[in-house]
Structure 1
Amino acid sequence: MTTATDTDFIGLEHEHAAHNYHPLPVVVSHGEGAWVTDVSGRRYLDCLAAYSAVNFGHGHPALVAAAKEQLDRITLTSRAFHNDQLGPFVTALAALAGKDMVLPMNTGAEAVESAIKVARAWGYRVKGVPAERATIIVADGNFHGRTTTIISFSNDPDARADFGPYTPGFRSVPYGDPAALEAAIDETTVAVLIEPIQGEAGILVPPADYLPAVRRITSERNVLFIADEIQSGLGRTGATFQCENAGVVPDLYLLGKALGGGIVPVSAVVGNADVLGVLRPGEHGSTFGGNPLAAAVGHAVVDLLATGEYQQRARELGEHLHARLRTLIGRGVVTVRGAGLWAGIDIDPALATGREVCERLMERGVLAKDTHGSTIRLAPPIVVERDDLDWAVDQLEGVLTELGA
């Protein structure tokens, strides 16, 4: 019997899967903790964690156990009926966020789309914005997903070009500039939608006074503050939410990725009844949103976060990771940004592109992903060991040396 190689799998994917990604040439077949193994048996340190969807590592025992137990019971009822997992899950998630209501969905983009609908309905039904005139303020460089509505307010040509006509109702202002944000608000504004840290843009951390200013301005102008914590939330930055690190509480949290534990897609809009309560039966829904399997896994994720252990681990290991990365500044690295176990690293473009650096890291057993030219990002699972982080930075240093830094 002939054993398939990575080339075989890559060939099948290239021939029959739409080319909407440009993956590194590695074929992963197994994973445990912060490590994955390819089809030939070689191990790699996962420093992407599926864009923070695998915050708790591959195959976390508590999450796998929750999924297996639920698989033996029931996996889908639709919301036409109640199930015994949804109520406990949304209660626990609301408590974790300090809110009182949860709208469960599946993907991060669905959470964003749901929040847009909620904000518009709130604007018409509560704030009194004239019909069909609601506007939402977003930030330049944003990434909130790739649905038609969301790419309508993106300024990333790869996500936006050739997919029009675009959905109206959005105004984009410079990220990190509260004065520009305030100037853009008028009587039609229903919400401000921002990432507390911009992920796809290169792990861009705004000035320390930015989020507090956003909270102040939105409160004063009777505008909802919607925080997209789909990548930054659930332990990644050393707190349950990055907003906590900034000392602010938004009106709505948007969650996804890690909420499903890397097992099933789970997302949610979390807020209080004075906002989420504007939805009426039949106005919004999802066949799979809030399904028993997703709720069981999501509840297990919330239980992990409720102890604070993972937030503390991400904070402490993140401090060590960033300290190590800063030693490379001037030695092939231009800048390092981030929070917790999340780092954006600008490589000197004279040396290599981000893609080239990631390909060389892969050859050394480290999986990372580039974004926007010469920037690479590191987001290892929170269960990663300190020695593994040191080894990963050593490999990056080795790559930079090979490139002539």
Structure 2
Amino acid sequence: MFISIDLATLRLCSVLACVTFAIIFVALWRGRSDQLHHAHWAASLLLYCVALAGLEWIYLPEDVMIRALLVTALTASNILVVTGVRLFAKRPLWRWWMGIPPAATLIGFLLPHLVRLMGGSLPSESEQVLGAMGLALGMGVFGLDIMRQSRRAVPHGYGGRIAGLTMMAYIPCYLYAIVGEVLHLATPGTLATAALLSDQLLLMLLNLGLIAMPAESALAALRESTWRDGLTRVYNRAWLATNEHTLLRAGTWLAHIDVDHFKSINDRYGHAAGDAALVGLARALTMATEECETRRAGHAVRMGGDEFLVIMPEASLPAAQRLAHDVRAAISRLGPFEWTVSTGLAGVEPEDRSFSDVIERADRQLYAAKLAGRNRVAA
């Protein structure tokens, strides 16, 4: 099938593509020297280039060890891709299992020759089959780890997933080569030709996926900053407007919290003291949402001024009441002066058409708590 394809030209195309992306990664690294993951990805491509350029010896029978090391380098180059992703995700760079695919590739490639040296024999295609199995193992193991680590680094991103899936997409070409060798349907250069043909598409997708990861992370950080209140760092109205459709479901409870006599705090102690009270309240709300008795983490939102919401998905009225009382207890320990909060609770009901309906009911309960003497919870 691949007899008419020029293997040297395919190899040159792959080398040029690697050099191009290596230059891009080096430029990105030089622009931001703290982003060492770009250096790892550039080093991976350069090692891949060296291995491809050296594979002109692959058909020289006297250079068995050189051929084995070059094929192993193809697998080992993917370790640097993984360490770059792990560095980006702030995970440990090295794990013991990373050495298994290169070792398997090296041993698989050399095994037929070692058996012949000991007087035994293996089928003529064993070198290609065992080497391809090591390469396929590496693509599968490293591709899965890239997907796992990229989800941790950019939970809603696609760049790392594309990179991991692209690496795993090399596996079918290796399996094709293995089946072709076993069934004697392949030419001697089938493995190299299939891999290099795959390179023409997959190498570009892999590196574009890696490039997309930092961009997605920066975009997510920018979006997150626009969703955070500048003073208290809890979520703001913009976040609520974006996510209210996911919050409007049965089992979600809402606490509407307001500082009692907040204007008098500003008038008596100054606006700096008022800001400190808001920051302290936001911190108490954040800690309460992390410790609340719900199946999913809660969210604290500043609606403006001294008004806050605590949204508790998959909660219950008793859980919402405990959270409100925990917040009041935390406020009483803050100091340096005495101040209190009032809280109104409401849950999502089947007839609610928007989250504003829930907020309105919680606001009515908050007003009831104020009328009842403040520093209390109404539901």
User: Could you state the TM-score of these two structures normalised by the residue count of structure 1?
Assistant: 0.19
The structure with more radius of gyration: 2
Return the structure number with greater helix share. 2
Specify which structure has the bigger relative contact order, considering alpha-carbon pairs within 8 angstroms and separated by 6 or more residues: 1
Return the structure number with greater strand share. 1
User: Could you state the TM-score of these two structures normalised by the residue count of structure 2?
Assistant: 0.20
